Chains A and B, each alone.
Chain A
């Protein structure tokens, strides 16, 4: 699945969300800016996965230009939803600048950060 807000525009910072299945783990790859205007797209994709019964999700942020508090709100809500279902959301491949944002907001107390996507996927087994 590959969805973008405005596919006709070739703007590298426009949020794009794609998903991939690895065993019983879903990878959500976001590229561009995850801000208040674009993050509903990511939320929609993740909610779709949860509704279809997926409970183990890895958020790969390697292509994010940045994530604002609106995007963090979605990660937190997703983690809470999955936690209630017995699943989890794990974060992988964050850039140093975004890792700092995670630390500044105390999200590092809530999320375990994985260096690579494969490490995050393996952590579920």
Chain B
């Protein structure tokens, strides 16, 4: 009996440690919390979609909104800035969906940077570069290969005996645009 009480007290006391540090985070939100202007843009595309989830991401002082959905067996991610302006649309694809020449250029670049690497995720990105957001959404949901699209590739790359997760951005021809380190998705919160 006394052990049960001690354990209870222990669990309750730990609660006071919550929220004492400033942090970057993302969380799932309700549809009602999503910006109205953004919601108006995507409503026509929610028809026939499932696994629709809304997220709020906060990165220091910057805030952005994201909606993820699955439609016609494709996974879409639509991002908006804090004012509800479309940033980009991303569609999850596989290696075979990238044109051969573009993919060869990408592989060549990755081979030069890493001794070993594993592609974890590929997304076809339709950025909103001074274009009509409705036009961008239309092209993305038609899965068109347009010159303005980019390929966003999440890689686990090995350099100097350690693995690090990177996000690479290539243009439609497979030309390198950007590289950044991303926070590891696989956290060790569960011990295996």
Do A and B truly interact? no
Contact residues of B with A, CB < 8 Å? none
